[in-house]
Chain A
Amino acid sequence: MSIWAIVWLVILIAIFIGTYLLNKNTPKPEGCEDMSECVGCNNIACSHHSAHHKEEIKDAD
């Protein structure tokens, strides 16, 4: 593996972490705060599943 491959991987990972943190810290627009609930499939491992959404509401209460 060349040095360029390592540099390139570091750049890509840094870009991903950067965009993830920027997106996470960007506030959602008005009226979109409660959109994390998805009922598309039954995969409860997915963080967008309604089961997680209910847990968040319970924790907030």
Chain B
Amino acid sequence: MELVSLFVGLTFVNNVVLSKFYAICPLLGVSKKPKNALNMGYAVTFVIFLASIITYLLYYYVLTPLEITYLDLITFILVIASLVQFVEMFLKKTSPEIYKSMGVYLPLITTNCAVLGVALDNISAGYTLIEAMVAGLAVPIGFTIVIYVFATIRERLDIASVPESFKGTPIALITAGIMACAIAGIAGLV
């Protein structure tokens, strides 16, 4: 039950995009078309899940015994960058279809701060491995939901009558702000 609560909490209530403002860059950059937003969401889910497990294991089984936990930030950055390169290479070799569907969004994940944020949050929150895995799944699912909903709203905004000075990024930021307020409204759910 605790894991379900953690999953729902991280997906909706403590959504990383709208409550912590991680991954704002892909939220604004890759939300012009819902299809692109979904592809980005799939790629982020894949990488965050793997990164959560690997960074957790490295922290507790390498950095802690060697007493070099102060290197966690640089370790996680390099691990995530290497992981993205490895996953891209693996998909090129074994699954061209998945590689094609993720497209250019896979290498762009290296700069997605939600990946690093989840890895660091897993350690600072003191999660167990199972909890870190649940977090590694819940957070990107929350990200995917938000970026997809945001993309559908932006698609409608393109054909809506918006004042000239609000067109483009300003109205997108206002929309993101209203979505953040809506998410804050369900804070008592979990």
Contact = CB atoms under 8 A, between A and B. Distances in A.
Interface string B99-112: 11001110110000
A26 B93 CA distance: 8
Q: How large is the interface on A (under 10, 10 to 19, 20 to 34, 35 or more residues)?
A: 20 to 34
Interface in B97-137: 99-100, 103-105, 107-108
Contacts of A39: 32
Nearest to B92: A26
B78 A48 contact: no
B71 interface: yes
A22 interface: yes
Contacts of A26: 89, 92-93
Interface string B22-42: 000110111010001000000
A29 B88 CA distance: 11
Nearest to A30: B96
B74 A9 contact: yes
B54 to A, nearest CB: 11
Interface string B61-97: 0110011100100110011011001101100110010
Interface string A6-26: 001100110110011011001
Nearest to A29: B96
Interface of B: 25-26, 28-30, 32, 36, 62-63, 66-68, 71, 74-75, 78-79, 81-82, 85-86, 88-89, 92-93, 96, 99-100, 103-105, 107-108
11 contacts: A8-B66, A13-B78, A16-B78, A20-B85, A23-B92, A29-B99, A31-B96, A32-B99, A35-B100, A40-B36, A41-B29
